[in-house]
Amino acid sequence: MQLDPATVEEAAKQLYIRALKDLPPDIKAGFGRLVDRETVPTAQGVLATMLRNIDVAEATDNLLCQDTGIPIYNLHVGPGVLFDGQAVLAAIRRGCERATREYPLRSSVVHPLTRRNEHSSCGIGVPVVHVDFDAPAGQVQIEMVPKGSGSENNSFLKMAVPAEGVDAIKTFVIDCVLAAGGKTCPPTIVGVGLGGTSDLAVALAKRAATRPLGSHCADADGAALEAQLSVAVNQLGVGPQGLGGDSTAFAVHIELAATHITMNPIAVNMQCHSARRARATFTPEGVTYGF
C-alpha cells in the first residue's frame, strides 16, 4: 500500500476536530462505572454535571472542552506500506494547521520564551508525532490525542533507589495523585511509566495515560500493580474535580521497559476526565475513523 500525503493531511485535520468533539465510548462507560459506585452526594452531583456537559457538547456538535491542548499524533505503520516519511510528517502538520484555522479552533501553542502564538496549533516540534512500526500488514493507523495543560502540568519523574523496590513506585504514584489534587480535572487516567531511562519512562507514562480504558499492561507484574494502584488512588478521597469522593481516577495504567541495575525510573502523567482521542485506519480500501 502507498500512503498518500494528501489523504494523510485530510485525516490529520479531521482527527483533531473529531478528538475534540467526540468522547470515546470506553470513557463514557468508565463514567458509568464511577457513577454506580460513587457514595458521596457532592461527587454524585459533579459527575452528573460532567455527563451533562458531554451530552450538550455532542448534541450541539460542539467541543468537549475549550482547551484544544498540545496536538499529538501517533503514527503506527504496518509491513508492506510505502511512504515518504518527510512528506507524511509535513502532511500531518498541514492538517493540524487546517483544523485550527478552518474549523476554527483555539490555538493553545506558543513559543516557550516569547509566548508568541502563531494561531495554528503548531510551532517548533509541534505537533508532536510519534512513529511506531507495529500496525497490521498493509495498514497505517494515525491516532490523535489533544493533551490539555491541566493534566499535562501534573507530570512527575523520580529516579528512585532500586533497593526501595515496588514500595517506592506505589508511594510515588500516590504522592503524585495527592499533589495534583483537583488541578487535573479528575476523575483521571493515571499513567505510570516504569524503567528504561528518564526520557523513556516519561514517554511510557504518556502512552499509559492515553490508553483506552479496559486495556491492561502487557507485562503480568505490571498488570497486577495497575489493579492494586487503581483501588488505592480511589481511596484517597480527592474525588471528581478535587471536591471529595470515591471517583478520583478511572484507572491507573502502567507501561514499562527494562532498565539498568542501578536505576529505577518512575514517571507519572495524567489524563483528565475528558480523555479525548481519535483514530484513522488506512487500508487499500480507504480510510475509516474510530477511537
Q: pLDDT tens for residues 174-196? A: 999 999 999 999 999 999 999 99
Residue 167, phi then psi, degrees to nearest 5: -60, -35
**Residue 208: its pLDDT value, please?**
98
Beta-strand relationship, 249-259 and 188-196: parallel
C-alpha to C-alpha distance for 236 and 13, rounded to whole angstroms: 40
Of 96, 99, 97, 101, the residue nearest 72 (C-alpha): 96
List the grid coordinates of 135. Answer: 500496525
Q: pLDDT tens for residues 24-67? A: 999 999 999 999 999 999 999 999 999 999 999 999 999 999 99
- Which residues contact residue 283 at a Cβ distance below 8 angstroms, ignoring those fewer than 6 apart? 1, 138, 139
**Residue 153: its pLDDT value, please?**
95
Mean pLDDT of 124-130: 98
C-alpha to C-alpha distance for 218 and 130, rounded to whole angstroms: 20
Q: pLDDT tens for residues 132-141? A: 999 999 999 9
User: What is the strand order of the sheet 188-196 is part of?
Assistant: 155-160, 264-271, 188-196, 249-259
Of 81, 80, 105, the residue nearest 95 (C-alpha): 105
Q: pLDDT over 90 for what percent of the chain?
A: 100
Domains of the chain in sequence order: 5-20+64-148+275-290 (3.30.1330), 150-271 (no CATH)
**Residue 86: its pLDDT value, please?**
97
CA atoms within 13 A on the CB side of 10: 10
C-alpha to C-alpha distance for 176 and 36, rounded to whole angstroms: 26
How far from the centroid of its chain's Cα atoms is residue 57's Cα?
20
Q: pLDDT over 70 for what percent of the chain?
A: 100
Confidence of residue 159 (pLDDT cuts 50, 70, 90): very high
Helices (H), ranges, the chain: 5-21, 25-37, 41-59, 85-102, 149-152, 165-180, 198-209, 220-233
